[in-house]
A and B are shown apart, each in its own frame.
Chain A
């Protein structure tokens, strides 16, 4: 089902608020992985506010859909999304990074409500997602598993081990996204360790692949609808995104993989998002 105009407007508004909150948390926490959090904000928004079958009041509800942030350093984006969805009060975000708080840079599933899986070391999340998807089959449960993988993260051999397994076991209940922002820490993915032809790689590994604009809710919705209807095996949605999306001076600058914000920069970041509205 295509998005209705009011749904699209609502998602855009939520994504904007999430981006604004990411900027604020980055400012008061002393620093965060802001670039990659902003690039995947629209994917998180459409999943958490349109598709995931979840109940924030019951984070442990056994039949809930599962979400795995394989690029675990995006924890700041995930935490903000969970707070907006009602898993915990937004005030808790004040404690992001603080000693002993529930919310660290890489979210801990034993501490933060709504976090299904702890991640942070690259190349582990997709394997855990395969495990969750296989478990649904064994337990005859209806849940679907969604996972966001980083493009740089896709250098890890374990991503491709998981890819092989998901195809082998024909995990149609598994949908993965690649946050294709074309950047990692040391620079552009194609300069550091080339990934292309990325879609052909996933296809060769037996996945159905959809390539979309990762900031276009209609395209994202179309690809997710395709994955939900598809009964054959796992689907990879390669979402073309912009690292730092929404904050003009961060966009496409690898230096903003991780950073802090204060004073004039913070004001500029806020103003840039205001213009997005």
Chain B
């Protein structure tokens, strides 16, 4: 797919050169052409989140509220009440925490059509440290009724998520990175549906469930294990954290009986917890582990170093899979359904 606007020619196949944020800015601008009801809102982060691209094209439909995130989300709610579709962009730490109750009570409680594009997710802000990391946002916003929560794996998936969120008649929270995350998909030619996990690699020995920038590393780890050790690792890209794809998780329990989750987020309350809820309710024996940022404030540093330190890069994933493959657990009576 390609688009030519204001002299700009761009295809998502340039995803290697564009950050997730840049792609988001371009896709939103393209949506803006077709949807006059879309408005763009930011809080002194128009440039940093790239929603400014939309603002340059549609200055009369773009509003900067200065550094005032609570007001940002309150205003978005008011605009949505009147039928507009506000796209609100700020860093994910501020969208989920600085404006928390405005998102919950003004937007979600009233089930308003507000799309939150939360950038610099997880530890991707690197040296900016814990004040700018969002290692709790998924736990927080996942608890808000009516809200759909999406964590795309790369720029291509971010483009798909931004387009797809227009079809959801209510609030959506899309958490993207800072950019520079490696590309996972070769093209847009794969089925992306909100609420359906994407099987990145088939496998029968263990299932890795992950989201966001970790997906790339999980796929790498699965390849290495298949080629070097003949271990068959199923990798599920759980891009939608809510509503979670219960069917895919239950299939993974039945088929592989071993599940590990990986996320650039605290192990308290995020993807891992969402998956654990489904695993526990399945009533089946399953070796299960959550990996991510432990229950502590994340340290600052270069993003690659942080992913390595918190063992959510390829090396860390390999290590954890090894551990969980070696773990014993009691078989239940359905044990024979393991493939």
| Residues on A facing B (Cβ under 8 Å) | 29-30, 72, 97-101, 104-106, 108, 118-123, 152-153, 155-157, 184-186, 189, 192-193
Instruction: Identify the interface centre among A104, A123, A152: most chain B CB within 10 Å of its CB.
Output: A104
Contacts of A101 in B (CB 8 A): 300-301
- Whether, in the assembled complex, B285 has its beta carbon less than 8 Å from a beta carbon of chain A, the answer is no
Contacts of B168 in A (CB 8 A): none
Q: Which 3 A-B pairs have the closest CB atoms?
A: A193-B66, A99-B301, A120-B131
Contacts of B65 in A (CB 8 A): 155, 193
Contacts of A192 in B (CB 8 A): 44, 64, 66
Distance from A76 Cβ to chain B, minimum over Cβ atoms (Å): 11
Identify which of B52, B67, B93 contacts A123 (C-beta below 8 A). B67
Q: How far is A118 from B297 in the complex, measured between Cα atoms in Å?
A: 13
Q: Contact between B127 and A185 (Cβ–Cβ < 8 Å)?
A: no
Q: How far is A152 from B46 in the complex, measured between Cα atoms in Å?
A: 14
Q: Contact between B127 and A104 (Cβ–Cβ < 8 Å)?
A: yes
Contacts of A105 in B (CB 8 A): 127-129, 132, 300
Given A100-B301, A186-B52, CB of A157 within 8 Å of CB of B71: yes
Look across to chain A and name the residue whose beta carbon is closest to the beta carbon of B55.
Answer: A186
- Whether, in the assembled complex, B231 has its beta carbon less than 8 Å from a beta carbon of chain A, the answer is no
Q: Contact between A106 and B45 (Cβ–Cβ < 8 Å)?
A: no
Contact mask B296-314 → A, CB, 8 Å, 1/0? 0001111001100100000
A-B contacts, 25 listed (Cβ < 8 Å):
A97-B300, A98-B301, A99-B306, A104-B129, A106-B132, A108-B300, A118-B131, A119-B131, A120-B129, A120-B130, A120-B131, A152-B44, A156-B68, A157-B68, A184-B44, A184-B66, A184-B67, A185-B44, A185-B45, A186-B42, A186-B45, A189-B66, A192-B64, A193-B65, A193-B66
Q: Contact between B68 and A99 (Cβ–Cβ < 8 Å)?
A: no
- Whether, in the assembled complex, B98 has its beta carbon less than 8 Å from a beta carbon of chain A, the answer is yes
Given A118-B131, A185-B47, CB of A99 within 8 Å of CB of B64: no
- Whether, in the assembled complex, B94 has its beta carbon less than 8 Å from a beta carbon of chain A, the answer is yes
Contacts of B301 in A (CB 8 A): 98-101
What is the size, in residues, of chain B's interface with A at 8 Å between Cβ atoms?
32
Contacts of A30 in B (CB 8 A): 127
Q: How far is A81 from B76 in the complex, measured between Cα atoms in Å?
A: 41
Contacts of B299 in A (CB 8 A): 99-100
Look across to chain A and name the residue whose beta carbon is closest to the beta carbon of B304.
Answer: A99
Q: How far is A122 from B305 in the complex, measured between Cα atoms in Å?
A: 26
Please report whether the interface of chain A is mostly helix, strand, loop or mixed according to DSSP: loop
Contacts of A186 in B (CB 8 A): 42, 44-47, 52, 64
Contacts of B309 in A (CB 8 A): 99-100
- Whether, in the assembled complex, B70 has its beta carbon less than 8 Å from a beta carbon of chain A, the answer is yes
Q: Contact between A99 and B302 (Cβ–Cβ < 8 Å)?
A: yes
Contact mask B191-228 → A, CB, 8 Å, 1/0? 00000000000000000000000000000000000000
Contacts of A104 in B (CB 8 A): 127-129, 300
Q: How far is A120 from B131 in the complex, measured between Cα atoms in Å?
A: 6
Distance from B69 Cβ to chain A, minimum over Cβ atoms (Å): 8
Contacts of A29 in B (CB 8 A): 127
Contacts of B97 in A (CB 8 A): 121
Distance from B42 Cβ to chain A, minimum over Cβ atoms (Å): 8
Q: How far is A29 from B301 in the complex, measured between Cα atoms in Å?
A: 11
Distance from A14 Cβ to chain B, minimum over Cβ atoms (Å): 27
- Whether, in the assembled complex, B232 has its beta carbon less than 8 Å from a beta carbon of chain A, the answer is no
Distance from B236 Cβ to chain A, minimum over Cβ atoms (Å): 30
Q: How far is A99 from B67 in the complex, measured between Cα atoms in Å?
A: 28
Q: Contact between A120 and B67 (Cβ–Cβ < 8 Å)?
A: no
| 270-326 of chain B: CB within 8 A of chain A | 299-302, 305-306, 309
Instruction: Identify the interface centre among B48, B97, B128, B306: most chain A CB within 10 Å of its CB.
Output: B128
Q: How far is A189 from B64 in the complex, measured between Cα atoms in Å?
A: 11
Q: How far is A147 from B283 in the complex, measured between Cα atoms in Å?
A: 56
Q: How far is A29 from B300 in the complex, measured between Cα atoms in Å?
A: 13
Q: How far is A152 from B65 in the complex, measured between Cα atoms in Å?
A: 11
Q: How far is A106 from B68 in the complex, measured between Cα atoms in Å?
A: 19
Look across to chain B and name the residue whose beta carbon is closest to the beta carbon of A158.
Answer: B70
Q: How far is A105 from B130 in the complex, measured between Cα atoms in Å?
A: 10
Distance from A91 Cβ to chain B, minimum over Cβ atoms (Å): 18
Q: How far is A157 from B73 in the complex, measured between Cα atoms in Å?
A: 13
Q: How far is A72 from B67 in the complex, measured between Cα atoms in Å?
A: 14
Q: Contact between B128 and A121 (Cβ–Cβ < 8 Å)?
A: no
Look across to chain A and name the residue whose beta carbon is closest to the beta carbon of B47.
Answer: A186
Contacts of B130 in A (CB 8 A): 108, 120
Given A99-B299, A104-B127, A185-B48, CB of A152 within 8 Å of CB of B306: no
Contacts of A156 in B (CB 8 A): 67-68
Q: Contact between B305 and A99 (Cβ–Cβ < 8 Å)?
A: yes
Contacts of A98 in B (CB 8 A): 127, 301-302
Given A99-B305, A155-B68, A184-B67, CB of A106 within 8 Å of CB of B44: no
Distance from B303 Cβ to chain A, minimum over Cβ atoms (Å): 10
Distance from A164 Cβ to chain B, minimum over Cβ atoms (Å): 16
Q: Contact between B131 and A106 (Cβ–Cβ < 8 Å)?
A: yes
Distance from B46 Cβ to chain A, minimum over Cβ atoms (Å): 5
Distance from B317 Cβ to chain A, minimum over Cβ atoms (Å): 20
Known: A155-B43, A186-B42. 19 other contacts (CB 8 A): A29-B127, A72-B131, A98-B127, A99-B300, A106-B129, A106-B131, A108-B130, A120-B129, A121-B94, A123-B98, A152-B67, A155-B66, A155-B67, A184-B66, A186-B47, A186-B64, A192-B44, A193-B64, A193-B68
